[in-house]
Structure formats: structure tokens, C-alpha cells
Amino acid sequence: MQLSIAVKRPYSFAQTVAFLRRFPPCQGDYVVTDHAITAAVSVGGIARAFTVHDGDPLTVDMPRHVDLATQRALVARAAHFIGADDDLTSLYAAAEDDPPFRALIRELHGLHHVRFLTLEEIAVYCVLMQRTPVKVASVYKRRFLDCFGIPVDAAGATLLAMPELPQLVELSAAEIATAIGHARKAAMITDVVRGVAAIGEPFLRTAPYAAARDALLAIPGIGPFSAAAILLRGLGRMDEIPSLDRFEPAARAVYGRAYDPAAITRRYGAQIGYWTFYVKAGASRIASRDAA
């Protein structure tokens, strides 16, 4: 069964693919080709695969036997995953008088914000990444999925869907510690997934940003950066971030000595989350070229 996704232009499927191929936390999670991305999510405790195909319009393939509610859930998940509804107009307009970022936009033109696939995934990963190099955190995430992921065959591979919150809250710290090999992070994961489940995804998506942030900060194990990661990288809420400090190395790779965080904050305002996404993606490409 094939359904279409409306996407706000400019949009580049090639940029989405390039980002996923460079993003360590999601390596092995998807089947990625130049013209298609296959992923798996849990819907009602059952792993379902979907494939987003390049084209005009973009289309989503899914199993024929799924019911209408599941079809809608998978199409919505696919659209959210690739940032289909994101409007780049304000970001690009703000960059007109910002030459370093304008040059970055030329390189990344049409890149929409690629989210973590589910709230569950970012809730687990936000613990794994704390005070941990990204490659090591990515290994922990792979171990977690290898143990608890729900398998489904798709595109010639076996993909592992992250369990939903009702299943995650049933996992003990001991089970998680055995899976990932890190007892302290395992204990924090149990606190975080239970806290996120108690708040609920609808509130985190729709409440005023400050209310959603503060609810997350009340969960043991979640600090300002983890709360921002859940809201931005998981739910696509781009309007605020707690600090630009974590993005300074990437920003300096783009701006050099001209980097001025106060001026950046003033210029990009409610687009600041999108600015950080582009800067991180651009710095990654710069580093790859320098290493070549």
C-alpha cells in the first residue's frame, strides 16, 4: 500500500539521506538508499515497517493488511520523522545578512529537521548520550535495541522497533544494565521513561514550551540539555534551547572567529533550534571533508 506525504518546499530528499548516513546514533536503525528510507516503529506493541520514497509527491509504502488507524499513524510518523511540515522560510530569510550561515544553507539547501523516530527513542538516548562520546552512546543504543527491540523484516533486512512507553516502563534497571553494560545509565533510563510516560506525549507536543520543559526537568536524570534534546530532536520543537554552549565547537567550524552567540540568538529568535540543527549538520560535513 502506497500513500503520499505533503511536504513544504524547499525540501531535498537527498539532504535527508545524507544526514542519516552521517548521524551515528541511528546507524543500523534504517535501510537507506539514495531514493528510499525504510524504518520500523511499534504501533500497539507490533513492529511495523514503512518506506519513504523520493518523488513528487513523496510516498510511503507500508504493509497492505494494516488497518486504517495504523495507516494514519505510520504516515504521520513518517512525515514527522523527515520534518515534512517544517517551514524553512523564516530561517532562510534570517540568514540573508549572515554570510557564513548563508553559505551553509547553499550546501544544505532543502534539508528539513530529521527527528529521532519516536519519543521513546529520544527518551532512552538522552540518557545514553549524557557525558558520553556520541560513538559510545550509539553503541549503548544498539545494545539496547538488540535486546529489547521488536523485530520486523523489511527491505531485505531485519529492523528493530523501539518498544512503546507502556513496554519500556516494565523494564527493570537490572535488565537494562545487563543489556547495555552500564548500571548507572540503566537506573536513569528507568526513571526517565517512567517520568516521560507519566507526562505523556500529547502534553509534551502541545503545552507551552516552558511548561513542557519544566515538566521534563522535574524527572530525575533529565537536565536542561536532555530536556531540550527531547523537545527538539525528538518532537521537533525548535523555538528555544537552554544554551548555545554545547554548539560552540560546531558553530566555530562554520563561523570561525566571527562567531557571536548573542548576535546569533538575536538574529534567529524562534528559529534558533533550526540554526543549531544546520550548524551541527554542516560542521559534520566540514569535518568529513577535512578528514578526507
The mean pLDDT value for 241-259 works out to 92
| Average pLDDT value for residue range 280-292 | 75
**Superfamily for the 2-87 domain:** DNA-3-methyladenine glycosylase AlkA, N-terminal domain (3.30.310.20)
Of 235, 234, 11, the C-alpha closest to 108 is: 11
d(CA 258, CA 227): 29
Q: What would the pLDDT profile of 92-137 be if each residue is shown by its tens digit?
A: 999 999 999 999 999 999 999 999 999 999 999 999 999 999 999 9
The cell numbers describing 190, all together, are 528507568
Q: Which of 44, 94, 95, 91 is nearest to 72 (CA)?
A: 44
* Residues with Cβ within 8 Å of residue 231, at least 6 apart in sequence: 204, 209, 212, 213, 216, 237
Compute the distance between CA of residue 17 and CA of residue 277 in angstroms, rounded to an integer. 15
- The whole-number pLDDT of residue 1 equals 83
**Given this model, what pLDDT does residue 155 score?**
92
- Give the pLDDT confidence score for residue 288 in this predicted structure: 66
Partner residues linked to 38 by β-bridges: 31, 51
**What are 264-282's pLDDT values in tens digits?**
999 999 999 999 999 999 9
Between 15-19, 178-182, 261-265, 287-291, the lowest mean confidence (pLDDT) is in 287-291
The pLDDT of 206-216, averaged and rounded, is 96
Among 49-53, 224-228, 258-262, 286-290, the minimum mean pLDDT is found in: 286-290
* pLDDT at residue number 241: 87
Q: How many Å apart are CA 200 and CA 214, to the nearest integer?
A: 14
> Does 292 have pLDDT greater than 60?
no
All residues at 6 or more sequence positions from 245 whose CB lies less than 8 Å from its CB, including other chains: none
pLDDT for position 254: 93
Cell of 140: 549503548
Res 61 pLDDT > 70 = yes
User: Is the pTM higher than 0.75?
Assistant: yes
